[in-house]
Chain A
Amino acid sequence: MTERNRLEAGGRIDRSHPLEFRFDGRSLTGYRGDTLASALLANGVHLVGRSFKYHRPRGVLGIGAEEPNALVQVARGAQTEPNVRATQLMLYEGLEASSQNRWPSLAVDLGGLADLASSWMPAGFYYKTFMWPARLWPFYERAIRRMAGLGRAPAAADPDDYDHMHAHCDVLVVGAGAAGLAAALAAARCGARVILADDQSEAGGQLLGERYEIGGRSALAWVSGAMAELRAMSEVRVLQRTTITGHYDHGYLIGCQVFREPGQPDPVGVPRQRLWKIRARRTVIAAGSIERPLVFPDNDRPGIMLAFAARAYCNRYGVRSGSRVVVVTACDDAYRTALDLAAAGVGIAAVVDLRPSGSGHLPRQVRARGIEVLIGQRIVGVRGRARVEALRTQSSAGGAIREIACDLVAMSAGWIPSVHLFSQARGELQFDERLGVFVPLGRLENVVCVGAARGTASLRGALQDGFFAGQVAAQACGLAGREEAQDIATVEPEEAPLDWRGIFGAASLGGRQFVDFQNDVTVDDVRLAVREGYDAPEHLKRYTTAGMGVDQGRTGNINVLALLAEARAEAMTTIAPTTFRPPYQALSFGAIAGALVGPLHAPTRKTPMHDWHAGRGAVFENVGQWKRPRHYPSAGETLQAAVDRECLAVRRGVAIADVSTLGNIDVQGPDAEAFIDRIYCTRMSALGIGRCRYGLMLRQDGMIFDDGIAARLGEQHYLVSTTTAGAASVFAWMEEWLQTEWPDLRVYCTSVTEHYAQIALSGPRSLELLGPLVDIELDAMPFMSMREARVAGVPARVFRLSYTGGPGFEIAVPAGRAYELWTTLFGAGERFGIIAYGTEAMHVLRAERGFIMVGHETDGSVTPGDLGFEGRLAMDKPFIGKRSLRRADLLRLDRKRLVGLLTQAPDCVLPEGAQLLDEPIDSPQSAAPVAMIGHVTSSYFSAHCARSIALGLVRGGQARLGDTLYAWVDGRAIEVTVTAPRFLDAAGKYAYG
């Protein structure tokens, strides 16, 4: 198929590399260097989508990031990506794109009926219409959502790779147009580390679409010279196709670089997108500007385009977007479109100028070419639906309407500086009367806008801005500026001023005049919103949705604000634009996640015995970042069956568990004893060397923070163990107190969690197993004691203690030798029938004994008293949280306190978290609200007790012993009896049997 609108020559496309692609199933061709938009226009395709609300036919409006209409779906097989801007999508061989938001096809869209009904769908329509009756809202919502929305989200996982990259620089330059290149050159020549980030596929910015000259040669020759110089400098990093999208505190900016388009195959192993996290000492924003659309009836018809876009498609891509063109303008700049297109042989029907006169050098050149120029006009409408056919205009003084036949309308109301990144960083904006737009007010610390981004209209001005800012930025980084005699002479006579006040059509004109193309917001919508009282920019935005599309109102916001000022009959200077917030351009989830997906999603911690567990079929659970074996099912065994087997092995024989994840902190120094006593609410100073004690740590507010065992290794030396989850926070807590409150205490704390691996041997036969393997007398070790020893030749600390409430030992060895010791112990245990047990069995075993577990029985609002630890508090010494325990609220008798709970039915296991009630209720609807007097904190089936057991926190606690309460489970009240919070007697038998 031939590209009927491709010019014979010209443009920056590579005509030796034709590319085939498909749009809505049609096979088309373009060239390397094309965007999808330029290739579609070359093929005469203007109609590219349907609008969001009214499903009106829409064509390409712009040429870059500002594009509100040409959003397409790109798919390859199951992969699909919605809302891709055709103006930024670089064409590749085999690209498959389709239009969005139409059914059944782009040309025949039934949703377009919404357009006919649109006088019934003004701003706030959904709020007003579908709110009653409220219970039908879900129904309305489903119907509305089917009609609205843009593309389709992918259903399958994203197959592409993404990554992140941190970067640092002296000077970040955003934008590689004239001003940006000048800034980058100036800074780099001073020796600065420069990052130049630009969202296009090649440097040049707006120059790529113009026919400008710099220093007597083509501007693009100057661009390539500048780029060659920059690329040759080792401290310069050029990032093409990188949109800086977020500007945060202290010179932190986020950018997204595109290496491959959606669906494009990966030939080289690079990620599809890379998220840059840039820390810049100075930032120069040279983000350019976006052309401002005019507002007139049916200004959204396909074939109506921004004036710069029309000439840039011609100059940059060799594409004629129409064959008979009308330029409509409120400024001189758009006359360039008439000149450039005429030079390319495109027929220009007329230039329609809304201003009362058009006498600058550009209008003179246009007239000199014999092109008709109409001045003092207003646009009353257009003819044509799927493609503009004629423009209808009349003198602003009134009179006859003239219809000018055309197939392309190129419009301009001047330029809008891209101040987004400046504003994101809290830069203030002010209204510029001359330009009719908001421009940066002054500068920010370390951030400056240059060129078109600050409203500089001329090329010469942009270059001067850039060179100056680049040099200043480098100097601010302590780098000496080099003398620069830069010849940047450009031919640029003055242009006549823009008339931005005349850009709106009258209310009486009829037809819809769009201000936000993507969200279908019209002039009438804005005026209606103001009449209804939504006359602050923030309210107006949310009520009309203007500026809330994926294009963030880049082309529309300024016109919305100008209309607002007009409707409020106030000056634009009274209007404060809504704050720009990141991201400037939406980021894909892939880019945000980067490489941290799948197995890399989050750091995973494994113990030295991990592979052994995995080899034995362990089912792992996540405890913080740790992977811990939860249980070791035999083939076909259920969780409960495995846990029963593991629990019984601990109670009757011997079993082994990996407890390496528990935190271990080495505490030593002359004041270690005093320190330990202040950290725990129990007394630790009384410990003899080689002895261990269980203790609780409190926060200042008296609530339990962590628990664990302290072992005294020497006169001035302790080892503190913590819970798995508490390891880091307890260590940080100790350091905090030592550094900030008790700097006088001579104590050093060091985390040794990772150095040691720890193995628990539990059960009545553990002594028999371990005895022959150690070089000490285990029998002589009292319960809760510690000895240094060699276990099977490995230097170890042997602890006689257990968390399961029965006989047992824990053995800590250097992690590098733990696997070896584990297998030795397991081998030696085989004749005793040893098995491994996991965390689930640990939980059951400790609950049988009534041992609390931090995070189950505690939740940050539980005191030692609540758990029945009053008797073990050492109130005659200072400790953290002590004073709080005397607070009246913590002494109340009706606080929730720890109890045991037994269900009537022995096999009924309550769900943890179930609420406890005093009275049974039949159903949630049946009665008045009921007081919840407690909840279940731990609940298991205990094979040893041959029934279910549970712990809970209940108002009144032990005072309720023997009472019957009701657990509310799945809409049903289950009877439970309150017991003491332990289920075994002194001999280790079930206590209530």
Chain B
Amino acid sequence: MSGERTAIVERGSRTSIVVRGDARDVRFVRAMAAATGLEPPVAPGTTAHHLLDAVLWLGPDEWLVVSETQPGHALASRMQQALQGLHAAVIDVSDARVVYAVTGAHARDVLAKGCALDLHPRAFSLGQCASSLLAEVPVLIHQRSAEPCFELYVARSVGEYVRAWLRAAVREHLHASGGSSP
């Protein structure tokens, strides 16, 4: 397991829009595709992505549209317009969460210290997402790459706590393989 350095990267807040709607309604799916370039994924725990934008499954009628390129209000109002007339909701929550990335050879071991999800490749694959708990804090985990890289979305208010927890959790791997923490 000498692979990539294990690291914790602070990625700050990110454009995030909660979308509620009915994925069985083809008009909803089309409107979403028109506004975001992405169709909302229907299978639990899956995502759709295009370059630096993605739609993460949160629930059977709930998604999180995230973007690293577009400002929240612009994306939200474009989606609102596209979904006009449908029973759907678009709520800009770009300031609600902060994002941490856990990457490298021991990423799974770091997360396993506080998260009961089975993140083994047989159980959790590239591109999957899951809402769960990390160190007793609600977290949305998204596997961004096979490296592996896991992005953690946590509430802004607990950001500092989660950072401190991650720092402690990665410590033993810093000695071993020279990783880094924020």
Contacts and interface: CB of A to CB of B under 8 A. Distances in A.
A603 B93 contact: no
B157 A754 contact: yes
Contacts of B165: 595, 600
B87 A606 contact: no
Contact of B175 (A269, A603, A625, A748): A269
Given A163-B113, A755-B92, A603 B87 contact: no
Interface in B69-123: 73, 87-89, 91-97, 109, 112-118, 120, 122-123
B91 A666 contact: yes
B116 A166 contact: yes
Interface in A733-789: 746, 748, 750, 752-756
Contacts of B89: 666, 668-669, 748, 750
Q: Which residue among A271, A595, A602, A670 has the maximum number of chain B CB atoms within 10 Å of its CB?
A: A595
B91 A277 contact: no
A749 to B, nearest CB: 9
A168 interface: yes
Contact of A748 (B20, B113, B164, B171): B20
Contacts of A289: none
B146 interface: no
Contacts of A604: 158, 160-161
Nearest to A271: B172
A962 B169 CA distance: 62
A600 to B, nearest CB: 6
A754 B169 contact: no
Given A750-B20, A754-B157, A816-B13, A168 B120 contact: yes
Interface in A590-637: 594-596, 599-600, 602-608, 625-626
Interface string A632-670: 000000000000000000000000000000000010111
Contact of B157 (A270, A626, A750, A816): A626
B96 A752 contact: yes
Q: Which residue among B93, B116, B137 has the maximum number of chain A CB atoms within 10 Å of its CB?
A: B93
Contacts of A164: 113-114
Contacts of A815: 95-96, 156
Given A168-B120, A607-B157, A750 B18 contact: yes
B13 A166 contact: no
B25 interface: no
B95 A755 contact: yes
A172 to B, nearest CB: 14
A600 B96 contact: no
Contacts of B158: 603-605, 625
Contact of A752 (B93, B122, B168): B93
A163 B94 CA distance: 33
Contacts of B120: 168, 193
Contact of A754 (B112, B122, B136, B156): B156
Contacts of B114: 164, 166, 595
B102 to A, nearest CB: 15
B135 interface: yes
B57 to A, nearest CB: 16
Contact of B93 (A168, A594, A599, A754): A754
B155 interface: yes
Contacts of B115: 166
A605 B13 CA distance: 16
Nearest to B165: A600
Given A279-B118, A666-B91, A750-B20, A268 B113 contact: no
A277 B116 contact: yes
Interface in A646-698: 666, 668-670
Contacts of A167: 112
A268 B136 contact: no
A853 to B, nearest CB: 22
Contact of B171 (A269, A279, A626): A269
Nearest to B175: A269
Contacts of B91: 666, 750, 752
Contact of B95 (A168, A603, A816): A816
Question: Is the interface on chain B under 10, 10 to 19, 20 to 34, or 35 or more residues?
Answer: 35 or more
A608 B156 CA distance: 8
A814 interface: yes
A754 B96 CA distance: 4
A164 B115 CA distance: 10
Contacts of A605: 155, 157-158, 161
Q: Which residue among B109, B123, B136 has the maximum number of chain A CB atoms within 10 Å of its CB?
A: B136
A78 interface: no
Given A268-B175, A595-B168, A814 B112 contact: no
A14 B142 CA distance: 48
B113 A595 contact: yes
Nearest to B159: A606
Interface in A706-756: 746, 748, 750, 752-756
Contacts of A666: 89, 91
B164 to A, nearest CB: 6
B136 A755 contact: no
A602 B175 CA distance: 26
A746 B21 CA distance: 10
A880 B54 CA distance: 39
Contacts of B161: 600, 603-605
Contact of B97 (A163, A754, A795): A754
Contacts of A670: 87
A69 to B, nearest CB: 36
B118 A606 contact: no
B62 to A, nearest CB: 8
A625 B157 CA distance: 10
Given A163-B169, A754-B93, A606 B135 contact: no
A165 interface: yes
Interface in A240-284: 268-271, 277, 279
Contacts of A277: 116
Contacts of B136: 596, 602-603
A599 B164 contact: yes
A257 to B, nearest CB: 13
Contacts of A193: 120, 122
A166 B111 CA distance: 9
Nearest to A602: B136
A600 B168 contact: yes
Q: Which residue among A164, A271, A625, A815 has the maximum number of chain B CB atoms within 10 Å of its CB?
A: A815
Contacts of A163: 113, 168-169
Contacts of A606: 157, 160
Contacts of B92: 755
A165 B164 contact: no
B168 A754 contact: no
A754 to B, nearest CB: 4
Q: Which residue among B89, B112, B122 has the maximum number of chain A CB atoms within 10 Å of its CB?
A: B89
Interface in B126-156: 135-137, 155-156
Contacts of A269: 171-172, 174-175
B151 to A, nearest CB: 17
A869 B171 CA distance: 56
A738 to B, nearest CB: 11
Contacts of A595: 113-114, 135, 165, 168-169
B112 A165 contact: yes
29 contacts: A165-B112, A166-B113, A166-B117, A168-B123, A270-B172, A279-B118, A595-B113, A596-B135, A600-B165, A603-B161, A604-B158, A605-B157, A605-B161, A606-B157, A608-B156, A625-B158, A626-B157, A748-B20, A750-B89, A750-B91, A750-B93, A752-B96, A754-B97, A755-B93, A755-B94, A756-B95, A795-B73, A814-B95, A815-B96
Give the top 5 A-B pairs by smallest Cβ distance, nearest first. Answer: A605-B157, A754-B96, A755-B96, A748-B89, A748-B20
Given A164-B113, A168-B118, A606-B157, 6 more contacts: A165-B113, A596-B135, A600-B161, A600-B164, A626-B157, A815-B95
Interface of A: 163-168, 193, 268-271, 277, 279, 594-596, 599-600, 602-608, 625-626, 666, 668-670, 746, 748, 750, 752-756, 795, 814-817
